[in-house]
Amino acid sequence: MNKGKPGSGADHLRSRMGAAVGWTGANAMLSINKGGSDARKQPVSQCEKTELLNVVAFLEDLEDELSDASMAFAPNPYIRMSLHLIRSHLEAKTVTPTSLIGVSGIPYATASRRIREMLDDGLIEQRPRTRSGKTFSMHPSEKLLESWMQLTGRLQRIAENRFGKKGAHADNHEYYFGGSYMQASSIPPLQVLPEPLRVPGGIRVLVHGDPTFMVMDNLKRQFEQVVGTDIHQRAFSIDRLHQEALKNAERKSSRYDIIAVDLPWIGEFAEKNVLMPLDEALDIARLDPADFHTAGWKAAHWGGRPYGVPAQTTPELLFYRKDLFAESGLEPPVTTHDVIDAARSFHDPQHGFYGIAWNAARGTALGHTFLMTLADFGQPLVDLPPAAGGFNTDRLDADEHRMMIDSDAGLAAAEYLMELLSYSPPYILSMSWYERIRPYAAGEVAMAYGYTLLAPYFELDPSSPAHGQTGFLPHPAGPSASPVAPVGGYVMGIPRNLAPERIAAAAEALIVFTSPEAQKLFIQNGSRTNPRYSVAADPEVRRESSIFEAVDAMSWRDELQFWPRPPIPEIGEIVQICGEEFHDMLRGIIPPKTALHNAQKRADDAMRKRFKT
C-alpha cells in the first residue's frame, strides 16, 4: 500500500495555500496562470512570482533599450504608462496621476495631455480616492487589458516564428502571454467598481473558517482595490459561526455587513429575522440566478424568496484512490454494497492502512452523516413529496412535516454505518470535517466521504499519495435508490438588522464577492468549490482540477440535491440529536433500532414546538 506521510492538518493547508497566494496573488486581478495538472507540483518561490510578470518586464526593457539605442527613438509614453498600469494592476498597487506621469519619460504637460487622450479613448479608468472627488486613482480599463492580451499573444507567435519552434516546455510558459483569455468561454478579470464603496469602517464580513473563505482573506488586498474600501473578515468554526450569527441578530444594529450562512440554516435564519430577503436589498437579476447550480440557488430560498447568494456550492462526494483501485482490479463503487466490499478489500489495520474515513464524531459531524446516509437509501429526513430528481422542497416553510428517521430506510442507513465502522480507522468516533480528509491525504485510507472544499488537502500537496490519483463520485446508492451528491456550502447574506445607510454598499460588495470573476479567482488561488455553471465551463478552471467538471456533470444529471439536509428551522437541533443517538449506537451502548426510536421521538418533539398553538 502507498502509505505516505501523515498530513499536518489545517496549519499545513494554510501554509500551502498561503504559498499559492504568494505567487498567484500577483496575477489575482488578471487571473493569468499556468494551468495544467502540473501547475502546483513544485513548491512555489519568489522566482515564480517574478516570472509571472515576465512579459511586462520584457516590454519595459525593450522600450528602454530602444530609447537608449539612438536619439531617434524617443520614449513612447503610451507604452510606458500602459505597462505601468498593467503591472500595478497585477500587483494590486495604487496608481496616481503623478506616478503615471513619472514613468512616461516625457515632460509633465505633455504627459498630462497623453493621459487625457487615454482617458478619452477608454484605455484608463479613474476613480475618486476621497469624498471630495479631487484626487483619483488610475486603473487599466477592460479595453486596455484586452488589447494587451491580444498583443502578448501575437508576441508569442512572433517569437516562435523568428527565434525557434515551440519547445517541449512551452506549455508551462503559456501563461506569460495571456493566451488562454482568447478562448471564448474564459471569464474576464475582475474590474474595479466605477465608484468606491463609501461605508464607514469598511465592509465587515462574518464567515466560516474553511479553505475557500481562507482564500478570500488571503486575497483581501485585491478585493479592497476592487471595492475601494477596507474589508474586515472574521472567521469562526461552524458551531461558533451559528452562535455568533444568532447573537448578532439580537443586537440593535448588526456588527457585520455580510454573513456566511450554512445552507441548512436558511429556514431558521429567515424565520428568526437573522437575514433580510435579498430582493429588499438589490435587483436579483444582477446576480444572474440561472448561472448558479440549481440545487445551490434553490437552497438559498425560504418561502419563495432568496435570503443569500451561493458563495460556495460544495457537495459531499466519495473520494477514492484511482491508483489503488486499478492495482486491485476493482471498479469504482456505485452502490453502498460496493463501498463495503472495497473498504473490506483495502482494510489492513496491521500495516496502518484502512478502508474508509467519514464523519463519526459525536454531535454535528455524525448528525450530518446520518442525514446524508439516509438520502443514500432514497429517503429524506421529513415526509417530502417525490419530484423529478428527488423530492419537492417548495413548501418547507408552510407545511407541518413528519420526521422519517425511524423507518426501513433509516434502519438500512444505521446498519450501513455500523458496517463502515468495521473498516475505518480506530479513531473514527472522534473523526469530523477535517480529520476524515487528513488520513486520506496522508495515504492511510483508500476512500473518504468529504466535501469538495476539503480537496485542497491533497490537490495542493504534491507529496500526498492522493495527489492526482483521486476520483470523485456522488454518494453510492443503497438498493432501489439513486446516487446523490448532497449539497453543502455557504451562501452570503445581509443581516436583517443592518443599518439602512450600509445596505447599498453591502449589496454591491455581495455582488462582487459572489461574481463569476471572483469565483474564478478563488479557484485559481486554491479553492475547490464553485456555485456557477459559467465558472465550471471556464477552460482555465477546468485545468485546475477535474473536480469542477465532475460536479458540473452531477448537477446536469440531477444528482446535486439539497433535500438530504432540508433547511427547516429545527434542522440544527435535529442534526445534534442524530449525532448523539447514533454515536451511542456506534459505541455499542444502544442497538440501531433503539437509536432510531430515540432520535425519532426527540426530533418529533423539536418539530412540534414550531407548530404548537
pLDDT digits (tens, 9 = 90+) for 248-279: 999 999 999 999 999 999 999 999 999 999 99
- The angle that helices 516-524 and 211-218 make with each other, rounded to 10 degrees, is 100
pLDDT digits (tens, 9 = 90+) for 199-257: 999 999 999 998 889 999 999 999 999 999 999 999 999 889 999 999 999 999 999 99
Quick: pLDDT tens for 137-195: 888 888 887 777 666 656 666 666 666 544 433 333 333 333 333 343 588 889 899 89
Note the pLDDT of residue 141.
85
Domain ranges of the chain: 1-30+32-186, 203-312+491-526, 316-486+570-611
**Amino acid (one-letter) located at 470:** T
Instruction: Name 401's Cβ contacts closer than 8 Å, sequence gap at least 6.
Output: 382, 383, 384, 568, 607
In whole angstroms, give the CA distance from residue 175 to residue 226: 23
Least confident of 2-6, 116-120, 349-353, 547-551: 2-6
Query: DSSP class of residue 72?
Result: T
Q: Nine-digit cell at 516?
A: 463569476
pLDDT digits (tens, 9 = 90+) for 363-408: 999 999 999 999 999 999 999 988 877 888 888 887 678 899 999 9
User: Helices H, strands E: what count in the chain?
Assistant: 25, 17
The reply to whether domains 1-30+32-186 and 203-312+491-526 share a CATH topology is no
Average pLDDT value for residue range 57-83? 70
Q: Give the pLDDT of residue 558.
A: 87
Cell numbers describing residue 267 = 429556514
Is the pLDDT score of 468 beyond 80?
A: yes
Q: Which cell is 539 given?
A: 477552460
The CATH architecture assigned to 1-30+32-186 reads: Orthogonal Bundle (1.10)
10 has pLDDT over 50: no
Q: Which three cell numbers stand for residue 280?
A: 429588499
What is the dotted CATH code of the domain comprising 316-486+570-611? 3.40.190.10
- Pick from 24-38, 69-83, 345-359 the range whose average pLDDT is largest: 345-359
* DSSP letters spanning 331-376: PPP-BHHHHHHHHHHH-BGGGTBEEEE---STTHHHHHHHHHHHHH
Name residue 234's amino acid: R
Query: What is the mean pLDDT of the segment spanning 478-489?
Result: 93
Q: What element of type H or E holds 133?
A: none
- CATH 3.40.50.720 matches 203-312+491-526: no
Name residues whose C-beta falls within 8 Å of residue 21's C-beta, 6 or more positions apart in sequence.
215, 218, 219, 525, 526
